[in-house]
Structure 1
Amino acid sequence: MSVDPSKAQDVWKDAGKEVQFTVLELNRKDRDKELAAVKEFVDRFQAITRSLRIRAQESDLHVALGFSNAAWDYLFPNADKPKELETYQTIKGDKYEMPATKGDIFMHVRANDRATVYEFMRQIMMFIGDVTTTLDETHGFRYFEGRSIIGFIDGTENPEIDEAKDYAIIGDEDPEFENGSYAFAQKWHHDMDIWNALSTETQEKAVGRKKFSDLELFDKDKFKNSHNVASQAKINGVTQNIVRMNVPFSEPAEKTTGTYFIGYARHWNVTKTMLTNMVNKHDYLLSFSKILTGQLFFIPSKTVLAKITDGDFD
């Protein structure tokens, strides 16, 4: 077997202009009923995607569906499990922490217009809504030319598309779950009054890049805890990559503004190392932010989704 991106879900940097993240929790009242609903939901998820890509061709719809470790154990207790799938636990440091929150089913939907995202979610919830409770529903958007909500260009360090498969898609190290991915989803709230009170020079030192041109600063010009220093992951001396997207969300009148972070990785350990480093190195972004949610999800390949629908994992 070999990695085949056509068999993977949409785990690339295609942020879209309109985005919705949804986290659901299974009701855990009647497993047989809920498993039957999940099978139908997984099948419909793919069918609705295909249909809307025909109906709304200019919308450029991309979707990803995942399950947490807790959901996998509940739904498929006798099935094999992806090697690195675990229940995310709160990462604590001496000053900051990245909390773990509940979640069984994760959906990441993005398109060029809100109508397509709405229609996708409206239809899909017809098949899963009765057996789940919504824990979080976040609507994000593209901010100008793809900037994060704090004003910097997002995703500069992402690998190019032809290389992304090496960082985002599971390979032959886990043959049964090849072409899957590990997704870490995390919701941040920012105190924008604090951030906006900083000078541009201070903001650049905090992020590690120029705000307008996106040029990376020399190390001597960055804060020691700048974001692009603190969030690096090196394993055996080699810098690691994942595919990451920082999606802005905001309700300005209520002063609710933040970032929804989604990271797709071939190896969960890489993302986990990045998160741990951010806490231990006091990433500057944590100084004006509160993290609201966090959980790890496995994004199955299309092959595994078909097996779920067919009952091969019962």
Structure 2
Amino acid sequence: MPNDIPEPQAVYTPITRSAIFIVATLASGDESAAIVRAWCADVAALVRAVGKRVPSGNLSCVVGFASDAWDTLFGTPRPAELHPFREFGPAGRRAIATPGDILLHIRADQMDLCFELATQLVGRLGGAVQVVDEVHGFRYFDMRSMVGFVDGTENPTGREAADFTMVGAEDPEFAAGSYVLVQKYLHDMQGWNALSVETQERIIGRTKLSDIELDEAVKPTSSHSSLTTLTDENGDEVKILRDNMPFGRPGSGEFGTFFIGYARSPAPIEQMLENMFVGRPPGNYDRLLDFSRAATGGLFFVPSATLLEALAERDPQASNDVVAEPSALPASAEPHYDGSLSIGSLKGTSQYE
């Protein structure tokens, strides 16, 4: 990769067996902010140090920052589309926003690698942050979600993954960065398992055993797949990259899915949430939400690995008068759709991840 193109964080990596998701809030005070900024330069070295012990373990970590935290830690310039999490839906069926300034998405084929890296990263931060949510996720049999359907079927791969997840010329100061939206869903598995397989398939929009999308003639418009597939004004599908993980504590009756979606703009993920929680048209909502409740919600920006390290030296009080020169970008970084991603230009189609 040419030197003038930022190196992205490990957003699109091979699928792993284990993951730890950590959401933390920033403690008040300049000292805490300074600790977090300095920590940004240490992340890559800690990943290398832990991962070197098991080279085949595919250990990686993605770090993201929420809107208010970005302002506090780094000031300006700031990512063009970074904003607080937007809530959708009526009371009782709502995508809620919950506290969170920093996101850690740690992945590996072994949980011990995830655990050790999480220990090192959180330990280095110390009292500068408070962990408000921690989820240990696992792959479930043949890539199944907690509700029993194959997860991630329609994820983009290869160059397409970069196309849909990596910020490009539309925001050159933050090229090779990504936006990531996370939610922790809790499932009523007793209610869900009481449904027939046919009913479950109509709710999801795919067959349960073979993972084949239902024919449009029989698939309800309220199915999860119908409401979470988008096309742009040219009829091309707009994808996001999901790396959802099941989690749970059977002894406590907790069964869940940690949703995590990466995209080059938050707009398509937010449109999917609006379709699910409000409905398309309003009222024609995702019936999976009759059995799944969103317990958390956060939106973060993932700077490139190059920028993450450089942020250690960022002065949040610095003037924002300096405008960065557009950097050279690979062809794969150019969007398939209008960089503004106007919500009005997104339409519906289908995919269950």
- TM-score w.r.t. the length of structure 2 is 0.84
Distance 1:2 1:218, change over 3 A: farther
**8 Å contact 1:13–1:243 — kept in the other structure?**
no
Amino acid at match of 1:149: M
Q: Residue 87 of structure 2 is aligned with which of 90, 108, 124?
A: 90
Amino acid at match of 1:24: A
The question of 1:194 aligning with 2:194 is answered no
Deviations 1:150-171 (A, max 9, x none): 1111111111223100001111
Deviation at 1:285, TM superposition (A): 1.2
What secondary structure is seen at the aligned counterpart in 2 of 1:121? helix
Counting aligned pairs with the same residue, the percent is: 39
Greater helix share, 1 or 2? 1
In structure 2, how many angstroms separate the alpha carbons of the residues matched to 1:65 and 1:233? 27
1:10-159 matches, within 5 Å, as 10-12=10-12, 14-28=14-28, 30-31=29-30, 33-77=31-75, 79-93=76-90, 96-159=93-156
**8 Å contact 2:93–2:293 — kept in the other structure?**
no
**8 Å contact 2:6–2:304 — kept in the other structure?**
no
In structure 1, how many angstroms separate the alpha carbons of the residues matched to 2:302 and 2:204? 30
* RMSD of equivalent CA atoms: 2.0
In structure 2, how many angstroms separate the alpha carbons of the residues matched to 1:19 and 1:245? 9
Deviation at 1:144, TM superposition (A): 0.7
Deviation at 1:188, TM superposition (A): 0.2
Deviation at 1:8, TM superposition (A): 0.7
The question of 1:255 aligning with 2:258 is answered no
**8 Å contact 1:247–1:260 — kept in the other structure?**
yes
Amino acid at match of 1:160: T
**8 Å contact 1:68–1:297 — kept in the other structure?**
yes
> For structure 2, which runs of at least 5 residues remain unmatched after alignment?
280-284, 318-353
Aligned twin of 2:9: 9
In structure 2, how many angstroms separate the alpha carbons of the residues matched to 1:276 and 1:143? 28
**8 Å contact 1:5–1:165 — kept in the other structure?**
no
In structure 1, how many angstroms separate the alpha carbons of the residues matched to 2:95 and 2:309? 34
Deviation at 1:12, TM superposition (A): 1.6
In structure 1, how many angstroms separate the alpha carbons of the residues matched to 2:234 and 2:145? 29
Greater strand share, 1 or 2? 1
Deviation at 1:87, TM superposition (A): 0.6
Of 99-108 and 274-283, the range deviating more from structure 2: 274-283
Aligned twin of 2:343: none
Deviation at 1:265, TM superposition (A): 0.2
Distance 1:207 1:5, change over 3 A: farther
In structure 2, how many angstroms separate the alpha carbons of the residues matched to 1:155 and 1:137? 22
Deviation at 1:178, TM superposition (A): 0.3
- TM-score w.r.t. the length of structure 1 is 0.94
In structure 1, how many angstroms separate the alpha carbons of the residues matched to 2:197 and 2:157? 29
What secondary structure is seen at the aligned counterpart in 1 of 2:307? helix
Q: Residue 294 of structure 1 is aligned with which of 286, 293, 297?
A: 297
**8 Å contact 1:19–1:110 — kept in the other structure?**
yes
Deviations 1:67-95 (A, max 9, x none): 00010111123x11111100112112487
What secondary structure is seen at the aligned counterpart in 2 of 1:253? helix
In structure 1, how many angstroms separate the alpha carbons of the residues matched to 2:184 and 2:157? 25
1:255-294 matches, within 5 Å, as 255-281=253-279, 282-294=285-297
